[in-house]
Structure 1
Amino acid sequence: MDRKGGGRMVLKLLLHLLLLCLTHAQLLPLEMQALRDIRGSLQDMGGSSFFSSWDFSVDPCTSFSGLVCESLHGLNRIVMLNLGSQSADSTGLTGVLHPSLGSLAFLKQLTVVPGTVTGTIPDSLGMLSELQFLGISQNSITGPIPDSFSYLKSLRVLNLSKNLLSGRIPSGLGNPPNLIAVVLSHNSLNGPIPSFTSPVIHLDLSQNALSGWLPVLPATLEYLSLTKNSLTGSLDPLSSLRNLNYVDLSFNQFIGSVPANLFSLKMSALLLQRNQLSGPILPSSPVSINKIDLSYNSFSGQLSPFLAHAHYLYLNNNNLNGIVPHEFVNSLLSANLQNLYLQHNFFTDISLQSDMSLPTVSSLCIQYNCLVPPAQSACPWRTGKASSRPGYQCEGRHS
């Protein structure tokens, strides 16, 4: 055999050995131990059989449910770990999260399905530099969000909603350069909202105990929900946000007026009810927002006809006055405006004649104002039994 032929044979042998090694790649011992630790700290709840496939006498990468591996340099590394069955009828897991989760250095996705997992979030998760998706929602996790999460440079989605988390949101949590979605709703987090320099698109911090003023928010923001907190201050930080599609700041203590540019955005909803907002409502052009709720505030002045283009408009329980512009009546009659709530204000007239029939999809409530409500005014029971304000409350009101 000549030297060239021998070289080809050696090359084929090397390629065969390399393929054999890749085919029988082993899991890194450190990660195997992490799996043992994780299994020891979590159990199936009654009705769940997630861990039935976790048999350590066989290769985890080929047999463990919820596990995905990739081969790197002849070794298998865990890149995805979904703890718990994804089926709708599964009851989830119980137990605690083991710190060894932080040993899975190549992990890109970590989820824990809804269950009754307790304890705190291990600080060691902050070492997962490759982690892109972290979802631990609808469990009973307590304690703070680890400060180490500020260093998750690859993180794109963080969902820790519907747990029992407490303490402050780490000041650096808004800094990871790839973070686009943060969902921390339905917890007991307190203190201020940190500033966000990450290109966040979706931010949901609703139903916590957060306080303070609105921070600097990213220009990329499209979805913002902060409802049911204790936030205050003005809405001015929203003035520079041009991509907003959904805003819910209801049930807080915000003060001042609504930035006019918010009304110029094409949003699905602008929900600001039950705050301490005041002043006139002054959109600069016809509003194309589908649902606007400004009820239970202290807005004053006359009603702008530009608001008549909304589909659902709730302005009840404010200090608005004057005549209801005819544009609102026209919008109701055409079924473009389907809900118009104006009760508990100081309106003095509306041009809706008794022979005008509203479409079945349209509803109007204008009880308890400085006028006799038209027959078409049909209100929810909580509006009260009085149809109009007493005369002394309406003295001096503009017509």
Structure 2
Amino acid sequence: MSKPLPFIALFSLLLLLLNSPPPSATALQLGIGIGIGGGGINIGGGGGSPPQQGSCPPPPRPFIPPFPPAPQMPPPLNQKLLALRQVILRFKRTITCDPQRVTNSWLPNTSPCSYTGFYCGNPPKDRTLTIASVDFNGYGICAPTINGFLDMFSDLALFHANSNNFSGSVPDVSKLQYLYELDLSNNLLKGNFPMTVLRIQDPVFLDIRFNQFSGSVPPQVFTLPLDVLFLNNNGFYYNLPYDIGATPAAYLTLANNRFTGPIPASIKNTSNTLREVLFLNNRLSGCLPYEIGYLKKATVFDAGFNLLTGPIPCSFGCLTSIQQLNLAGNFLYGKIPEEVCELGSLRNLSLSDNYFTEIGPVCQSLVGTILNIDQNCIPGFPKQRSAFECQAFLSKPKYCEPKPYERYPPCKLNGYAAAPARELPAAAKTTVAAPDHSPVYSTLNKRNNHRQL
């Protein structure tokens, strides 16, 4: 009868526990070791698993974003950039107008490499970062001088400043050892030809058109290793230097000046390089040189509105690449050469305002489409000069009789390829074909710039 007592004692203890307030989790673990789990009652010294029904998980820890990295300070400017920054800021103080607010970015505490119009690079000999190019094209900046500015950039390779209002003279650029492109076009610069450009070591591009330069052009400029030489729309005068034939330039403009004298026969020496040349609107005189016919790579030859005289040499039939040939507004006479009208690449032949008297069938087929013969002395064609005017001119002595060797085109004498024959009838065309895009004709627009960074 004594065996059931432990069971009764255990049952009594359980009733006592169920009727008492619920102990804390700590008391259950540290007391008699009773834990109530999801599967029943466990009794032991190690306690049971905590209750899972009705319990709330702790709230998630709030996200704290990491601190942003500290901004990296730009590297300090080297001595060259520090010095050039002062040059630029000093020049800024002389500027009297800045319509595009270019100088707003020229600040004293920033790198000049970030200034509008300035570009940095590493020169070949000294790899120190410096200003390598300046591009002010079209900014319209006004300044009384660029002396003390342009000449301070010892590592400059390019300076482009088309269409600004820079006055004064051209600074000494002879110490700019890397300079090879200089564009000062469409400004207010004046004085004689800037001789300092002759001391540039290896220039390839020189554009000083649309300024107020005057005087003669030194022959040395035609010995510079230039690809492009634009001198038009200034006040240059005197004869063209004989050394013009020494130029390696492919594009040459001397238009709208006051040059006098003949076109030098030395132009023959440019036969392998010259592509476009403008002598337009000067005071050139004398006979058209036979040697022009050697310019087999020329696509544009314009000597319009001068004082040139004589017949067109037969050598012009060897201009195998010519597209635009303008001889209008001179004192030319005789027969228009059929060889010229047969040139296969010809797009525009302007012979108006001369004194031509004859025209052959090939040339006749081009009239009104490619060929303009207005205001000549050709019988049977409209818009010609009066008989009185023609007689007055034709009665004067003529001095341009060709030499014996000039009676034959050089391309036939030397055996190089003749021009491709024109397909006839060309008169079926209804409009005058414009020449292909021409760099030299675009120079007659002063706001056109020919180099852009």
TM-score, normalised via structure 2 length: 0.61
What amino acid sits opposite 1:270 in the alignment?
L
Taking a change above 3 Å as real, the CA distance of residues 82 and 27 of structure 1, as seen in their structure-2 partners, is farther
- Mapped to 1, the partners of 2:285 and 2:143 lie a distance apart of 38
Name the counterpart of 1:295: 352
Task: Kindly indicate which of the two structures has a greater share of residues assigned to strand.
Answer: 1
Aligned-residue CA RMSD (Å)? 3.0
8 Å contact from structure 1 (residues 126, 149) kept in 2: yes
Instruction: Please give the residue correspondences for 1:184-203 in structure 2 after superposition, counting only pairs within 5 Å.
Output: 184-194=231-241, 195-196=243-244, 197-203=246-252
**Deviation string for 1:221-264 (max 9, x for gaps)?**
11111111111122214122111111111110112222223244
Structure 1 position 66 matched with structure 2 position 113: no
- Mapped to 1, the partners of 2:78 and 2:255 lie a distance apart of 44
What amino acid sits opposite 1:246 in the alignment?
V
Three-state SS of the structure 2 residue aligned to 1:278 is strand
Q: 1:240 aligns with which of 294, 316, 331?
A: 294
What amino acid sits opposite 2:338 in the alignment?
P
Taking a change above 3 Å as real, the CA distance of residues 198 and 32 of structure 1, as seen in their structure-2 partners, is farther
**Deviation string for 1:91-113 (max 9, x for gaps)?**
44343212442232221110114
Q: 1:307 aligns with which of 355, 359, 363?
A: 363
Instruction: Please give the residue correspondences for 1:1-399 in structure 2 after superposition, counting only pairs within 5 Å.
Output: 24=76, 26-28=78-80, 31-45=84-98, 47-61=99-113, 63-72=114-123, 73=126, 75-83=128-136, 86=138, 91-122=140-171, 124-177=172-225, 179-194=226-241, 195-196=243-244, 197-215=246-264, 216-217=266-267, 218-219=270-271, 220-236=273-289, 237-264=291-318, 265-284=320-339, 286-288=342-344, 289-300=346-357, 302-308=358-364, 310=366, 311-321=369-379, 343-344=384-385, 361=430
Taking a change above 3 Å as real, the CA distance of residues 342 and 287 of structure 1, as seen in their structure-2 partners, is farther
What amino acid sits opposite 1:304 in the alignment?
G
**Deviation, structure 1 residue 342:** 5.7
Three-state SS of the structure 2 residue aligned to 1:238 is helix
8 Å contact from structure 2 (residues 119, 133) kept in 1: yes
8 Å contact from structure 1 (residues 44, 94) kept in 2: yes
Number of equivalent positions: 307
5+ residue gaps, structure 1, are 1-21, 325-340, 347-357, 364-399
- Mapped to 2, the partners of 1:33 and 1:169 lie a distance apart of 36
5+ residue gaps, structure 2, are 1-73, 388-426, 433-453
**Deviation, structure 1 residue 27:** 4.7
- Mapped to 2, the partners of 1:78 and 1:192 lie a distance apart of 40
Three-state SS of the structure 2 residue aligned to 1:56 is coil
- Mapped to 1, the partners of 2:322 and 2:77 lie a distance apart of 52
What amino acid sits opposite 1:318 in the alignment?
N
Name the counterpart of 2:60: none
8 Å contact from structure 2 (residues 141, 164) kept in 1: yes
Taking a change above 3 Å as real, the CA distance of residues 71 and 23 of structure 1, as seen in their structure-2 partners, is farther
What amino acid sits opposite 2:308 in the alignment?
F
- Mapped to 2, the partners of 1:27 and 1:278 lie a distance apart of 67
- Mapped to 1, the partners of 2:429 and 2:370 lie a distance apart of 15
8 Å contact from structure 2 (residues 85, 111) kept in 1: no
- Mapped to 2, the partners of 1:165 and 1:207 lie a distance apart of 12
RCO higher in structure (CA 8 A, sep ≥6) = 2
**Identity level (%):** 20
Taking a change above 3 Å as real, the CA distance of residues 125 and 238 of structure 1, as seen in their structure-2 partners, is same
Q: Which has the larger radius of gyration?
A: 2
**Deviation, structure 1 residue 284:** 2.9
- Mapped to 2, the partners of 1:50 and 1:43 lie a distance apart of 12
**Deviates most, 145-154 or 278-287:** 278-287
- Mapped to 2, the partners of 1:48 and 1:35 lie a distance apart of 17
**Deviation, structure 1 residue 272:** 0.6
Taking a change above 3 Å as real, the CA distance of residues 362 and 162 of structure 1, as seen in their structure-2 partners, is closer
- Mapped to 2, the partners of 1:112 and 1:226 lie a distance apart of 25
- Mapped to 1, the partners of 2:115 and 2:194 lie a distance apart of 29
- Mapped to 1, the partners of 2:127 and 2:430 lie a distance apart of 65
- Mapped to 1, the partners of 2:385 and 2:122 lie a distance apart of 67
TM-score, normalised via structure 1 length: 0.69
- Mapped to 2, the partners of 1:42 and 1:193 lie a distance apart of 37
8 Å contact from structure 1 (residues 204, 225) kept in 2: yes
- Mapped to 2, the partners of 1:243 and 1:360 lie a distance apart of 26
Three-state SS of the structure 2 residue aligned to 1:78 is strand
Name the counterpart of 2:24: none
- Mapped to 2, the partners of 1:40 and 1:171 lie a distance apart of 38
**Deviates most, 246-255 or 309-318:** 309-318
Taking a change above 3 Å as real, the CA distance of residues 147 and 361 of structure 1, as seen in their structure-2 partners, is same
**Deviation, structure 1 residue 163:** 1.6
What amino acid sits opposite 2:147 in the alignment?
H
**Deviates most, 25-34 or 164-173:** 25-34
**Deviation string for 1:156-190 (max 9, x for gaps)?**
1111121222122122111112x011112111111
8 Å contact from structure 2 (residues 293, 317) kept in 1: no
